[in-house]
Each structure stands twice: as structure tokens, then as C-alpha cells.
Amino acid sequence: MNDGTIVELAPAKLNLALHVRRRRADGYHDLETLFAFCRDGDVIRLAPAVADTFAITGPFGATLAAEGDNLVTRARDAFRAAFGVAAPCAIELEKNLPIASGIGGGSADAAATLRALARWHDVAPDESRLFGIAARLGADVPACLLGKSAIGEGRGDELRVVDGLAGRGVLLVNPRVAVSTARVFAGWDGVDRGAITGDPAEDRNDLTAPAVAAAPEIATVLGALEALANARLVRMSGSGATCFALFDAPADARSAAAAIGAEHPGWWWLASELA
Ligand code: C5P
């Protein structure tokens, strides 16, 4: 792409905790979650062009391209409708994160697309219309647009920024099993286990049991992470299957990744740092 290219990182999203409180009449669930973001993820590149194009590259590009519909082009079209702009552009999505994996994926890509278009069209990143578009694209998209540690309530889109755990090392591990978010929520047992405290050590992920029922490999991943020396907190993110371990320092996450990679060569992993 030419020098006018706008590059936006679409960081991996983590739910350090996720408490499901009740089923709603609209098919969603009221939840309380603690969002955090990594310093690595997918990448969106956007450049002015004579006609619209959309290309998907990266290690998980082929899998995603096979699905057809994409939140990136839906975000582009929603932005244009809301802001009354039509200039064509070339968008590239570098898909580094596994899809349907509980770490944002499509939501992060949609949010990065909105950020890139906002930069191009001189729209302030905190413009309320951007958050309105984000909420219509998906429950996690507003959190990804904000991109900061936050407590999410309601569907996960009522956000309150909190102090995060910036600088901690984090290891993400996925057994390369795609999990349907809708199916995992549908498997929740309906028991309200209480409010989030905001202290990840005290909190939990209520979707772990239904996710393990859908993908038993998740229990193996959690066991392998719990066996790591220095891991401070081990948990599944979102509706899975990606699980994470937090460490005091990024170097600890990198050595843990080497150990996990040697023991389970078929698993996907990412050693990163919390933002
Ligand atoms: O909003 P999004 O398309 O990401 O949500 C995917 C699915 O996850 C929803 O269709 C719904 O089944 C489930 N979900 C839910 N409650 C939430 C968020 C998602 O039941 N708060």
C-alpha cells in the first residue's frame, strides 16, 4: 500500500473475569466483565483507493475468508452511513488471532476499522456516534473501540474505565478449536453466582463450564497453564476456547510459551504484555 496507509492494531481482548447474571428477553445475557487488552493482535491497514477492496492476510486469513461475511466491511459500511462519506478505500486485515476464540477477533477488527476510518475522516476517536455504531456491530465492539481496561455491564457494552494491570506478562493459549459464543451462552446453567468485585483473583468466568462441555480440550489447556511456574492467574477468556496465564513480567510469559509450545506443538499461543 502507498504512503497514505493508516495502520491500526486490533489488540487481543481478554476477559480477566466474566460473571453472567441473567438471561434477557432479547436473547442476550446481562453480564459483568473485566476487559483487558494485549499489546499484540490483528492489524488493519486502510488506504485511499479508486475502488473498494478488502483483503485478508495473515496466519488465520484463509479460515476467515472462507466465512464470507466480515465485521470489517460491515463496520466500514456503517461508518459511511453514519458520517455521510463515500470515498473508496483499500482495507487489509492481517489476521493473526484465531477466529471464534474468545479474544475479540472480529470485534477487535471492527473497532480498529472504525478507528482507522475516524482518523482518515478527522472524526474524534471518542465521538459518541462511533460507540453507537460499535454497539450495533456486537456486544464486545464498544470495549474494543475504547481499548482500555474497563468493567463492562449490560451486554458488556456499558463501560467504566478502571486501573488495569499494564505491563504484566500474559500467555494466551488456544487448542485450535473454534467455539460458538451463542452456543456457550446457551449452555449457561442460569445460576447467578454473584457480582464482580473487580479483583481478578476473587472473580471467575461463568462460561468456563459450558465452554468445556462444548470443547473438552479447554480443560487440558487450563491444566497445562496451571502447572506453569510463576503463573499468577489462569483463566479462560470470553466464551473460549482461548485461556490465559498472567505473569509478573513479559519475560516470564515468553519462557512459559517455550515450555507450552514444546509440550503441545499443535496448540496456538501468543506471549504478550497487558496494555
Ligand atoms: O454481540 P455478539 O454478536 O458478539 O454476540 C454473539 C452471541 O453471544 C449473541 O448472539 C448471544 O447469543 C451471545 N451473547 C449473549 N450475551 C452477551 C453477549 C453475547 O448471550 N452479553
Separation of alpha carbons 134 and 142, rounded Å:
5
The residues carrying an active-site annotation are 13, 140
CATH superfamily of the 169-273 domain: GHMP kinase, C-terminal domain (3.30.70.890)
Residues of the chain with CATH 3.30.70.890: 169-273
Residue 171: the pLDDT is 98
Identify the DSSP state of 194. -
CATH of domain 6-161: 3.30.230.10
| Contact 155 CB / ligand 1 (< 6 Å) | yes
Q: How far is CA 35 from CA 10, 12, 48, 67, 179, in A?
A: 14, 10, 33, 27, 19
Is pLDDT of 154 > 80? Answer: yes
Asked whether the whole model's pTM tops 0.95, one would answer yes
Is pLDDT of 10 > 60? Answer: yes
Residue 226: the pLDDT is 98
Cell of 110: 471492527
* Pocket mutation for ligand 1, best pick of 30, 141, 151, 181 (most atoms within 8 Å of C-beta): 181
The DSSP bridge pattern shows strands 6-23 and 29-48 to be antiparallel
How much is the mean pLDDT over the chain? Answer: 96
Under DSSP, is residue 104 helix (H, G, I), strand (E, B) or coil?
A: coil
Residues of the chain with CATH 3.30.230.10: 6-161
- 14-23, 65-74, 88-97: least confident range: 65-74
Q: 132-141, pLDDT tens digit by residue?
A: 999 999 999 9
| Contact 137 CB / ligand 1 (< 6 Å) | no
Q: 230-262, pLDDT tens digit by residue?
A: 999 999 999 999 999 999 999 999 999 999 999
Return the closest-CA partner of residue 243 out of 272, 221, 213. 221
User: Rounded to 5 degrees, what are φ and ψ at 257?
Assistant: -60, -40
**Residue whose CA is closest, atom 2 of ligand 1?**
138
Residue listed under C-alpha cell 457494552: 157
Is pLDDT of 1 > 70? Answer: no
Q: 105-141, pLDDT tens digit by residue?
A: 899 999 999 999 999 999 999 999 999 999 999 999 9
Q: How much distance in Å is there from the Cα of 186 to the middle of ligand 1?
A: 10
